[in-house]
Amino acid sequence: AKGESVAIVESDKADMDVEAFDEGILATIVVPEGGMTGVGNAIAYLVDQESEMEAAKAQAGSAPQAAAPAPAPAPEATSPAAATTEAAPAQTEAKAAAPAQAAVVSSPVVATAAAAPQPRADGRIIASPLAKVRAKELGVDLAIVGGSGPNGRITESDVERVAFGGTTGMASAVGLQEAQPMPVLPSSPTTTPPAATAPVSSIEQDPELPARGSVEKFTTLQAAVSKNMIASMEVPEFYVQTVISTDKLDEMYKALKPKGIAMSPLLAKAVGLALAKHPVMYASCPDGNSIKYNEHVNVAVAVAMPDGGLITPVLADADANDVTDLASSWKDLLGRARSKQLKPEEYSSGTFTISNLGMFGVDAFKPILPPGTAAIMSVGASKPTVVAGDDGSMKVEKQMTVGLAADHRIVYGAHAAEFLRDLKEIIENPVQLLV
């Protein structure tokens, strides 16, 4: 039916339901589950009547096909090997729904026995449209079904296994073992000893950790991060840092936390106010020969994803919006970021980035500049520190180290130092965050 979800497409930053554009009959599937295709290519064909199905299949068959994940090869006698697949984009005409971005291809890992389906690490339930329909027909709760598809996606066969086999398919642990060589039988009564068998570790591995010796192909998100990091290395960067007292900011945070205001919106607001005074710090160098001054102070905040990689939800117009609005936006963005439901403009429109590892106890670090921006700021942990006063007295105050990586083509040392000076003044006198 028109508007019915027919597939889930996984891009580098989001999972998207693809809906049927028209009513009709599903004649053939061009891109199999787990396959990869290019933007705008057909993934399936719909027809109006059954008599048109053969023509649609012929049309689909005459075009290059997207590659499907290759089955895992049988283990050799010596040791298992990892199988990888590469998917080629399909060049087909599209009447049916076309994905917004390329879908991911999983890489199966060979073990001595078939790996049992695993629940997703982030607890989300991702199921194919056919699996959802089949689960409803059979009365199966998808929450108890282990998915065998890419990234833990539940397939129709997973649902049927639970319905008819009585097992959820949830595995407690998956590990690799070395294949055992066949014993050698003596041809005559001799004292020849039997062949030695490979040792098997008796250590029980945490099921949340990757299997030892395994190889995992990048997810689309990890691949995108890798590509951006390589691009960042082509930009001449420099680093500066300063120490900021956080006593007053911490007091403000304790007072605002019961109202639902987190630390990230407070930091974003402080950064937004400082950036407004230094346009070059949220500019960009698009061609290596010019400076593009951006219209909006959009502060992106790096967030680690449960299944690898990171994403940068954007707090738009951080200089103009008040802390309450930023906190409300942040709560919404963070929830949808972790479930990969952000819109492209909600993670790709940042003009300055904050990376905060202070929550993990990290004192200081050098961030890597995202492509297309002038600077990124690192935030370390706030810790009690003994400080000497101007009069020689000693006191204890909480301090954090803030670092800055900047594009030296357009940002110079004085620019970075002046920005950090103003940011320090704002954070150490945070009442202006509420004005």
* Mean pLDDT, residues 51-73 taken together: 65
From CA 280, how far away is CA 283, in angstroms rounded? 5
pLDDT for 403 beyond 50:
yes
% the chain with pLDDT above 70: 73
- What is the helix, strand, coil percentage profile of the chain, to 5? 30, 15, 55
Q: Are 368 and 232 in contact (CB under 8 A)?
A: yes
Higher pLDDT, 106 or 302: 302
Handedness of CA 138, 141, 145, 147 (dihedral sign): positive
Q: Quick one: how far is CA 296 from the chain centroid?
A: 25
From CA 131, how far away is CA 129, in angstroms rounded? 5
∠ CA 336-366-266, rounded to 5°: 45
261: exposed, middle or buried (Cβ count in 10 Å: 0-12, 13-18, 19+): buried
- Residue 200's pLDDT is 53
Q: Are 126 and 146 in contact (CB under 8 A)?
A: no
pTM for this predicted structure:
0.59
Nearest to 211 by CA among 85, 290, 115, 131: 115
Tell me which range, 44-53, 86-95, 360-369, is most confidently predicted by mean pLDDT: 360-369
SS (H, E, C) 186-250: CCCCCCCCCCCCCCCCCCCCCCCCCCCCCCCCCCHHHHHHHHHHHHHCCCCEEEEEEEEECHHHH
Q: Average the pLDDT over each of 19-23, 118-122, 358-362 and give the range with the smallest value.
A: 118-122
pLDDT for 418 beyond 90:
yes
From CA 239, how far away is CA 30, in angstroms rounded? 49
Q: Are 169 and 148 in contact (CB under 8 A)?
A: yes
Q: Which residues form the catalytic set?
A: 408
pLDDT for 21 beyond 80:
no
* Structure tokens that stand for 428 in this block: 């150490």
- Residue 398's pLDDT is 96
How does pLDDT run across 226-284, given as a tens digit for each residue? 888 888 888 999 999 999 999 999 999 999 999 999 999 999 999 999 999 999 999 99
Q: Per-residue confidence at 372, pLDDT binned at 50, 70, 90?
A: very high
- Residue 53's pLDDT is 80
* Structure tokens that stand for 301 in this block: 């905040």
- Residue 199's pLDDT is 54
* Mean pLDDT, residues 90-118 taken together: 41
- Residue 319's pLDDT is 97
pLDDT for 175 beyond 50:
no
* Mean pLDDT, residues 145-156 taken together: 79
Q: Are 231 and 409 in contact (CB under 8 A)?
A: no
